[in-house]
Structure 1
Amino acid sequence: MATLRRLGEVPRHLLVCEKSNFGHEKSRHRHLVETHCHNYRVSFLIPECGILPKELKDLVMATGPYYFVKNLPLHELITYEFINTFVKKGSCYALTYNTNIDEDNTVALLPNGKLILSLDKDTYEETGLQGRPSQYSGRKAMKFIVSIDLMDLSFNPDSKTYERTCWSFKEKNPLKFDFLLAWHHTGAEEATMMSYFSKYQIQEHQPKVVLRTLKDLQCPGLQSSELEGQPEAACSAGQLFDWLGAVFCNVDLNNEPDSFISTYCCPQPSTVVAKAYLCTITGFILPEKILGLLEHLHYFDEPKLAPWVTLSVQGFADSPVSWRENEHGFRKGGEHLYNFVIFNNQDYWLQMAVGANDHCPP
């Protein structure tokens, strides 16, 4: 009976799958990528590939930079100068670092100018700002969500809303956090985050890139037409998701009878490819950079032998949002991620996964 109780406590995980084509006018691939803002890791796998094409490698190496600012006062993100310099002139992203969503105060800035605060009860009451109870609070609300629209026309230095928010962050409760920051913009560069935040401890970082050639990799045989709503197709999509996780984690997939570490094996039917290329990028990675990789992967000319490729993206477990402004919770999981399976006829499968309590992906 004890075993049954433990099994019953396994957290719920939700995997949503859909099929489309990049050329279809109603394809959601761009919107899906653009609205998943805070990305920690991007991985792509190309079967029948031993060397990464130069154009794709150049894109991989250009996924940075991003910035780490230590003890940055929250009020710096709502100054009129910051809004005009970065928020209104591109896509600006920020996320608190080394904060736990289930027990700490966390903050995220979205490219649409929304500043999302997930605050504990005491901090929320001290700020005096309007918000709502977290959907994960239960009967007694212990966490609250505050959304501040930095692009709102009423949010200007002369408005009462702006004055009250500034007073709250600068005087009433001067919150400080370690932040990850990044800015995507077009046109001439008039300012840089390094110079703008020079009075604070700021560091520029480039994402960490790991390139690997996998030999004799057993890959599932996939056909784009398989994902059409049949029960077995959904199961196939779930098995593929598990298999990719095993490959990314370098799990032995031989299923040897004397193995005490892993008895997992590749879904069937399968085939062994002589070489496969795996690239993993880790850091604070912007949706615009991911879109560039996705566009190149579904138009790539080489290697011509690859029947499909995959692009997988993992969000930060402790981000207060997952997609768009959907509240994200941790509890026992914290995952929110998506995966594209890209076929050479421009069809794709899109798989989106979240953990316990999160809303269904968009």
Structure 2
Amino acid sequence: MARHSTHKRLRGAMRADRVRGAPGGPGRLRTATFSWEPPARSQIQAAIHTHPFNHTLNLVVPATADMAPLQAALEQAIRAGGPGPCLAHVPATLFLEPSFVAEYILTGSLYALSMTRLDSDDTLCIDGQGMLILSVSKDTYQQLGLAGRPCRFAHGASGRLGDRRSGAVSRYMIQLPLADPSFVPGKRGYERARQCLAAWDEARGRASWPCLFVWTPPTPLNAAPARAWAPITLPEALVDPRHVRSVEPDAVVRMHEDVWVPSACAPSDVGPCLEWAGLMALPSPRLRAFDRCEPHVCLYDPPPGSTPGACLHLRVVGLLPPALVARCLQLAWDWAETHRSVAALSVSGFTDTPIAWQSKYPGHGLPLGSGALAGPAPDDGRTAATRARKVRRKGHIRAGETEHGLLRTGENGYTVLLFPECRAPGEAQVHLLESVELDTH
């Protein structure tokens, strides 16, 4: 009997490998433009809150007037919350403790991230909307006993033709909906998860997870601007107080003199303006108005219409909740609107995070929980039957799946460009550029 031909399978595998090995991987840069209208603020604020794990914030505002009021307001926004972010060694069962869930997860927004390597260690995080996400190795997944899904970015070599990423899955993602009404003590899914995490803690050792915590309290109606964070108290029965320490963000404010400052941004100039914002965040000496760098070292031209001036540069590093970023953007927006000045806000996320962006459909398709923790799904034109349909195709992205691939592009952040003065009527004055990978945007 003749051996079965594998020509079609190999040809399809080669096409898939060419797509996976394309320069830049599956990374994408999404661009959205808005006019200078009130609805634009709410839309950009909503986009900011979908990026939970912010590591570095850079805000650049040209000095068109006395910058002392803006500088004082920014420093007040950062320090108003007092002590809040902390680093603690905790067990995984802490996140299922009923008192902890009721006080911090069901009330306000809790962000937690383990300080472990995404490419080689087991990691966990809480995304601010009550979802506990575990990214574990294949060995841990087989021993843990909880249902999950394969990671899209963690495929080993297949052994065919070399340099292939279509082999066996090496990592898995597990999601536990802590805020779901059906995920409570006494329910079978909750008890199963608690039993598995307790056995995992016993195998790893007590309080073996070094995690960063920051909690944003709920905002009362008709209240002053919300605090970016508030202190949290971890139960001493599970966490040793000696293993908890405060980690305040590092904030630095500088004034850069004699640098190129753009005055407006046409749709065709978004790229140069984004490059200018990135160089200001460094800051780079190429932005100096008197810089005369050798052509063989660097070639840089400022955006069209740029003039020499001074810029206020705020840089904040730490675990920054979205509420703090939104507050800084609000202050910069008000300043730009009053003084008709440009502004640029750049935010980058942590490298070792299981996810970079929150899912539009939190809890959808999970074996534990009903997926109702964030209310109804957005109106995207898809019916419930379409969302529930399972497509058995390798690499298919279902609704609700979101993931961060460190070893592919690794980018996870966004930039907001504000230009009150436009060159022509009807031109967009606010630009939002998001670096995304696998998500549900």
Deviation at 1:262, TM superposition (A): 3.9
Alpha carbons of structure 1 residues 207 and 257: separation in structure 2 relative to 1, 3 Å: closer
Which of 262, 273, 280 does residue 247 from structure 1 map onto? 280
Deviation at 1:172, TM superposition (A): 4.5
Alpha carbons of structure 1 residues 348 and 258: separation in structure 2 relative to 1, 3 Å: closer
Q: Does 1:14 align with 2:50?
A: no
Report the counterpart of residue 184 of structure 2 in structure 1: 156
What's the % identity of the aligned pairs?
Answer: 24
Report the counterpart of residue 56 of structure 2 in structure 1: 41
Structure with the larger strand share: 1
Alpha carbons of structure 1 residues 33 and 302: separation in structure 2 relative to 1, 3 Å: closer
Report the counterpart of residue 31 of structure 1 in structure 2: 46
Deviation at 1:62, TM superposition (A): 3.4
Report the counterpart of residue 169 of structure 1 in structure 2: 197
Q: Does 1:129 align with 2:170?
A: no
Which of 288, 300, 307 does residue 271 from structure 1 map onto? 307
Letter in structure 2 aligned against 1:11: G
Deviation at 1:238, TM superposition (A): 2.4
Deviations 1:76-113 (A, max 9, x none): 1111111011111111110011x222222111102210
Deviation at 1:309, TM superposition (A): 0.6
Letter in structure 2 aligned against 1:288: A
Indicate if the aligned counterparts of 1:86 and 1:92 stay in contact, CA closer than 8 A: yes
Which of 333, 343, 346 does residue 298 from structure 1 map onto? 333
Aligned length: 339
Q: Does 1:51 align with 2:87?
A: no
Indicate if the aligned counterparts of 2:122 and 2:135 stay in contact, CA closer than 8 A: yes
Q: Does 1:335 align with 2:411?
A: yes
Report the counterpart of residue 3 of structure 1 in structure 2: none
Indicate if the aligned counterparts of 1:17 and 1:352 stay in contact, CA closer than 8 A: yes
Indicate if the aligned counterparts of 1:48 and 1:305 stay in contact, CA closer than 8 A: no
Moved more, 249-258 or 42-51: 249-258
Letter in structure 1 aligned against 2:123: T
Query: Does the residue aligned with 1:288 lie in a helix, a strand or coil?
Result: helix
Report the counterpart of residue 94 of structure 1 in structure 2: 112
Deviation at 1:239, TM superposition (A): 2.5
Deviation at 1:173, TM superposition (A): 5.1
Query: Does the residue aligned with 2:317 lie in a helix, a strand or coil?
Result: strand
Query: Does the residue aligned with 1:30 lie in a helix, a strand or coil?
Result: helix
What stretches of structure 1 of length at least 5 have no aligned partner? 1-7, 228-232
What stretches of structure 2 of length at least 5 have no aligned partner? 1-20, 156-166, 221-226, 360-401, 422-427
Alpha carbons of structure 1 residues 243 and 25: separation in structure 2 relative to 1, 3 Å: closer
TM-score, scaled relative to structure 1: 0.84
Q: Does 1:79 align with 2:92?
A: no
**Cα-Cα RMSD:** 2.8
Letter in structure 1 aligned against 2:285: D
Letter in structure 1 aligned against 2:339: K
Moved more, 174-183 or 46-55: 46-55
Deviation at 1:302, TM superposition (A): 8.3
Deviation at 1:164, TM superposition (A): 1.1
Indicate if the aligned counterparts of 2:85 and 2:231 stay in contact, CA closer than 8 A: no
Deviation at 1:61, TM superposition (A): 3.2
Indicate if the aligned counterparts of 1:124 and 1:144 stay in contact, CA closer than 8 A: yes
User: Hey, what's the Cα distance between the residues in 1 that align with 2:59 and 2:41?
Assistant: 24
Deviations 1:252-282 (A, max 9, x none): 2156343775443423342211x11000011
Which of 175, 181, 186 does residue 218 from structure 2 map onto? 186
Work out which of the two has the higher radius of gyration on C-alpha atoms and give 1 or 2: 2
User: Hey, what's the Cα distance between the residues in 2 that align with 1:192 and 1:147?
Assistant: 26
Letter in structure 2 aligned against 1:240: C
User: Hey, what's the Cα distance between the residues in 2 that align with 1:27 and 1:293?
Assistant: 14
